[in-house]
Structure 1
Amino acid sequence: MGVVESPALATRVVGYLPTWAGDVNTLPYNKLSHINYSFVLPTAQGGITGVSSGDARLRSLVTLAHAQGVKVLIAVGGWNDGNDSAFEQLAANASTRTAFVNNLVNFVNAAGLDGVDIDWEYPDPGTSGNNYALLMRELGTAMHSRGKLLTAAVVANGYTGGGVQASVFSDVDFLNIMAYDGGQPHSTYDYGVQSLNYWKGRGLPASKAVLGVPFYGRSPSSYVGYSELVARDSQAPYKDNVGDVYYNGIATIQAKTRLGMQNGGVMIWELSQDTSGSTSLLNAIYTVAQGTGGTGAVRLVNKASGRCVDISGPSTADGAIIHQWSCHTGPSQQWAMEATDSGYYRFVSRHSGKALDVRDVSSADGAGLQQWSYSGGGNQQFKPVALGNGYHRLEARHSGKVLDVTGCQAGSGDGTLLQQWTWSNNDCQQFRLEAQ
Structure 2
Amino acid sequence: MPSLAPRRRWAAAGLAVATVATGLSVAVASAESPGVAALPDGFRSVGYMPSWSGNVNSIQYGKLTHINYAFVLPNSNGSLQAVPDPGKLSSLVTQGHNNGVKVSLAIGGWNDGNDSAFEALAANSGSRTTFVNSVVNVVNQYNLDGVDIDWEYPDPGTSGNNFTALMQQLSTAMHSRGKLLTAAVVSGGNTANGVQPAVFGYVDWLNIMAYDGGSPHANYDWSIASANEWKSRGLPAAKTVLGVPFYSRPGYLTYAQLVAMDPANANRDCVNANGAQQCYNGIPTIKRKTEWALANAGGMMNWELSQDSAGSTSLVSAIYDAASGGSGGKTGQITGYGGKCVDVAGAATANGTPIQLWTCNGSAAQQWTSTGGTLRALGKCLDVTSAGTANGTPIQLWDCNGTGAQTWTATGGALRNPASGRCLDATGPSSGDGTRLQIWDCAGSGNQLWQIPA
TM-score under structure 1 normalisation?
Answer: 0.71
Residue among 268, 272, 280 paired with 2:306 = 272
Task: Tell me how far apart the structure 2 counterparts of residues 19 and 142 of structure 1 sit (CA, whole Å).
Answer: 25
State the match for 2:30 in structure 1: 3
Change (3 A) 1:281 1:241: same
Aligned 8 A contact 1:74 1:113 in 2: yes
Q: What secondary structure does 1:21 align onto? A: coil
State the match for 2:166 in structure 1: 135
Deviations 1:329-349 (A, max 9, x none): x969714799x9xxxxx8x3x
Work out whether 1:334 is the aligned partner of 2:373.
yes
Deviations 1:280-322 (A, max 9, x none): 11111111222343679xxxxxxxxxxxxxxxxxxx9999xxx
Following superposition, the deviation at residue 74 of structure 1 comes to 0.2
State the match for 1:29 in structure 2: 61
Instruction: Give 1:68-147 correspondences, 5 Å limit.
Output: 68-147=99-178
Residue among 242, 249, 259 paired with 2:271 = 242
Work out whether 1:293 is the aligned partner of 2:327.
yes
Aligned 8 A contact 1:358 1:370 in 2: no
Aligned 8 A contact 2:218 2:280 in 1: yes
**Structure 1 alignment gaps of length 5 or more:** 297-315, 320-329, 341-345, 360-366, 385-393, 397-413, 419-436
Aligned 8 A contact 1:233 1:242 in 2: no
Change (3 A) 1:294 1:3: same
Change (3 A) 1:417 1:164: closer
Q: What secondary structure does 1:6 align onto? A: coil
Task: Tell me how far apart the structure 2 counterparts of residues 241 and 164 of structure 1 sit (CA, whole Å).
Answer: 32
Task: Tell me how far apart the structure 2 counterparts of residues 57 and 268 of structure 1 sit (CA, whole Å).
Answer: 20
Task: Tell me how far apart the structure 2 counterparts of residues 371 and 196 of structure 1 sit (CA, whole Å).
Answer: 34
Task: Tell me how far apart the structure 2 counterparts of residues 224 and 356 of structure 1 sit (CA, whole Å).
Answer: 39
Change (3 A) 1:182 1:369: farther
Work out whether 1:223 is the aligned partner of 2:289.
no
State the match for 1:164 in structure 2: 195
Task: Tell me how far apart the structure 1 counterparts of residues 221 and 79 of structure 2 sit (CA, whole Å).
Answer: 39
Change (3 A) 1:41 1:75: same
Residue among 47, 53, 63 paired with 1:15 = 47
Aligned 8 A contact 1:17 1:272 in 2: yes
State the match for 2:425 in structure 1: none
State the match for 2:432 in structure 1: none
State the match for 1:430 in structure 2: none
Following superposition, the deviation at residue 3 of structure 1 comes to 2.5
Task: Tell me how far apart the structure 1 counterparts of residues 305 and 391 of structure 2 sit (CA, whole Å).
Answer: 40
Aligned 8 A contact 2:286 2:319 in 1: yes
Following superposition, the deviation at residue 261 of structure 1 comes to 1.9
CA RMSD of aligned residues (A): 3.3
Aligned 8 A contact 1:287 1:294 in 2: no
Residue among 290, 298, 312 paired with 1:257 = 290
State the match for 1:154 in structure 2: 185
Amino acid at match of 1:373: I
Q: What secondary structure does 1:151 align onto? A: strand
Aligned 8 A contact 2:329 2:371 in 1: no
Task: Tell me how far apart the structure 2 counterparts of residues 294 and 162 of structure 1 sit (CA, whole Å).
Answer: 43
Following superposition, the deviation at residue 175 of structure 1 comes to 0.6
Task: Tell me how far apart the structure 1 counterparts of residues 108 and 257 of structure 2 sit (CA, whole Å).
Answer: 26
State the match for 1:183 in structure 2: 214
Amino acid at match of 1:260: A
Task: Identify which range, 91-100 or 254-263, moves more after superposition.
Answer: 254-263
Change (3 A) 1:371 1:19: farther
Amino acid at match of 1:235: A
Residue among 361, 370, 373 paired with 2:395 = 373
State the match for 1:401 in structure 2: none
Work out whether 1:48 is the aligned partner of 2:80.
yes
Task: Tell me how far apart the structure 1 counterparts of residues 281 and 68 of structure 2 sit (CA, whole Å).
Answer: 21
Question: Alignment length, in residue pairs?
Answer: 340
Work out whether 1:232 is the aligned partner of 2:261.
yes
Amino acid at match of 2:51: T
Change (3 A) 1:246 1:148: same
Amino acid at match of 2:283: I
Change (3 A) 1:370 1:285: farther
Residue among 209, 214, 233 paired with 2:240 = 209
Task: Tell me how far apart the structure 2 counterparts of residues 3 and 55 of structure 1 sit (CA, whole Å).
Answer: 27
Aligned 8 A contact 2:214 2:222 in 1: no
State the match for 2:414 in structure 1: none
Following superposition, the deviation at residue 373 of structure 1 comes to 3.4
Q: What secondary structure does 2:112 align onto? A: helix
State the match for 2:230 in structure 1: 199
Following superposition, the deviation at residue 416 of structure 1 comes to 8.4
Task: Tell me how far apart the structure 2 counterparts of residues 374 and 82 of structure 1 sit (CA, whole Å).
Answer: 48
Task: Tell me how far apart the structure 2 counterparts of residues 133 and 264 of structure 1 sit (CA, whole Å).
Answer: 22
Task: Tell me how far apart the structure 2 counterparts of residues 91 and 332 of structure 1 sit (CA, whole Å).
Answer: 48
Task: Tell me how far apart the structure 1 counterparts of residues 173 and 419 of structure 2 sit (CA, whole Å).
Answer: 66
Amino acid at match of 1:6: S
* Identical residues among aligned pairs (%): 52
Task: Tell me how far apart the structure 1 counterparts of residues 327 and 249 of structure 2 sit (CA, whole Å).
Answer: 30
Amino acid at match of 2:30: V
Following superposition, the deviation at residue 189 of structure 1 comes to 1.3
State the match for 2:12 in structure 1: none
Q: What secondary structure does 1:147 align onto? A: coil
Q: What secondary structure does 2:30 align onto? A: coil
